[in-house]
């Protein structure tokens, strides 16, 4: 697949100076912008998937009228955390 370029973006000189000040030695403005775009695309994809799962779960709750109380969910999470902590510390 052939690569393409993003449109040029005008920014204030102060922002460009800030950007240049945070670049690593092996990093260019182009590589920084490419990484930022990739990260933003990934974030939005993950966010959309999260919202979709939430919407489906909400529809299921409305359809069935069933849900798990928050206290029960937190208790389950606490137990899993504690079990993992014990596993990592090698205790029972």
For residue 25, the model assigns a pLDDT of 94
8 inside domain: no
Do residues 48 and 39 touch, judged by C-beta distance below 8 A? Answer: no
How would residue 70 be classed by pLDDT, with cut points 50, 70 and 90?
Answer: very high
Cα 15 to Cα 71: distance, rounded to the nearest angstrom: 46
Cα 62 to Cα 10: distance, rounded to the nearest angstrom: 47
Record the pTM. 0.66
Range of the domain at 26: 13-89
4 inside domain: no
Q: Domain count of the chain?
A: 1
18 inside domain: yes
pLDDT tens for residues 80-89?
999 999 999 9
For residue 92, the model assigns a pLDDT of 66
43 inside domain: yes
Cα 66 to Cα 58: distance, rounded to the nearest angstrom: 10
34 inside domain: yes
81 inside domain: yes
Mean pLDDT calculated for residue range 61-83: 94
6 inside domain: no
pLDDT tens for residues 18-40?
999 999 999 999 999 999 999 99
How would residue 7 be classed by pLDDT, with cut points 50, 70 and 90?
Answer: very high
Do residues 54 and 60 touch, judged by C-beta distance below 8 A? Answer: no
Given phi > 0 = left and psi -120 to 50 = alpha, else beta, which region is 13?
Answer: alpha
């Amino acid at each position: 697949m052939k690569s393409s370029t993003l449109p040029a973006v005008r920014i204030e000189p102060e922002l460009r100076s800030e950007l240049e000040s945070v670049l690593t030695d092996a990093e260019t403005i182009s590589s920084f912008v490419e990484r930022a775009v990739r990260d933003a695309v990934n974030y939005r994809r993950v966010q959309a998937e999260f919202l979709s799962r939430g919407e489906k779960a909400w529809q299921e709750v409305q359809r069935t009228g069933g849900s798990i109380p928050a206290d029960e969910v937190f208790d389950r999470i606490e137990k899993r955390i504690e079990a993992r902590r014990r596993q990592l510390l090698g205790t029972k």
